[in-house]
Amino acid sequence: MEDLTPRFWEVFWEVFGSLPRQGPGNRASAVKALAMCGELPEQAAVLDLGCGVGGQTLQLAELVSGHITALDSHAPAIESLEQSVVERGLADRITAVVGDMAQPGQDQESFDLVWSEGALYSIGLSNALKVCYELLRPGGYLVFTDAVWRKDNPPAAVKASFDLDYPSMGTLQDDLTALSTCGFELVGNFTLPDEAWWDDFYTPMEARLAELLPQYADDPEATAVLKQVAEEPEMHRRYGEYYAYEFFVARRPL
């Protein structure tokens, strides 16, 4: 996606930056994954990698005690999260930082829980797993979501779409193998339910697109970006059975 123009990213963020989340996920799934972290300390040190505007970070602050460091490489996303943190009086619970998860600038073995929804793939899953392993204390939990193929031979349009953003996307078994190769113990995994794609993500995305398309009617470049973004929920409606988002809960051995 590196050859996309600055204008593309500007319009893209006008859509995505306004959404509660920048990827699929919901509170019920976070609650389910957290319930699998049976030995999390009461005051857990949590790191949310690729937090976006912090949809899941703010939920985590309600669901776990302790401090959350939320990191994303996109400065406007972190500014948005900082604003939400102040508005909700959570400044003592959440620290939002601009950073690269490949070199997160956090102490090794300093977190009880590393959380990441739809973001680890950005630096290659195996590479990201190594980074997470080193950040976790022995016995610490890694909870993340990742897109996986559910069926062989996806339609060309679906394959082409994932090839743009996640060309190395594998199957559930590929991710389980990557976890075990990195030294993690699998606690469990489950597939995100369909509502987790819609409630906080595609439904508000389509509403935002409906708002912006008339505003940009005289701007062919922006209109083209908006139409490209609109293909994603449409693809999910038609071909969602070919891929899934899987929630993984794994543990660095004690």
Ligand X SMILES: C[S@@+](CC[C@H](N)C(=O)[O-])C[C@H]1O[C@@H](n2cnc3c(N)ncnc32)[C@H](O)[C@@H]1O
Tell me which residues touch ligand X (CB under 6 A).
Answer: 21-23, 25, 50-52, 55-56, 71-74, 77, 100-102, 117-119, 122-123
- The nearest distance, CB 25 to ligand X, in angstroms, is 5
Nearest-angstrom CA–CA distance, 133 and 167: 24
**For ligand X, which is the closer residue by CB, 52 or 140?**
52
Q: How many CB atoms lie within 10 A of CB 12?
A: 16
Closest approach, Cβ 21 to ligand X, in A, equals 3
**Between 23 and 140, CB nearer to ligand X:** 23
Query: Which of 25, 233 has the CB closer to ligand X?
Result: 25
Measured from the CB atom, the residue of 185 and 194 that comes closer to ligand X is 194
Smallest gap from residue 110 Cβ to ligand X (A) = 18
Q: What angle do CA 99, 28, 173 make, to 5 degrees?
A: 70
C-alpha–C-alpha distance, residues 223 and 215, integer Å = 9
CB of 12 to ligand X, least distance (A): 11
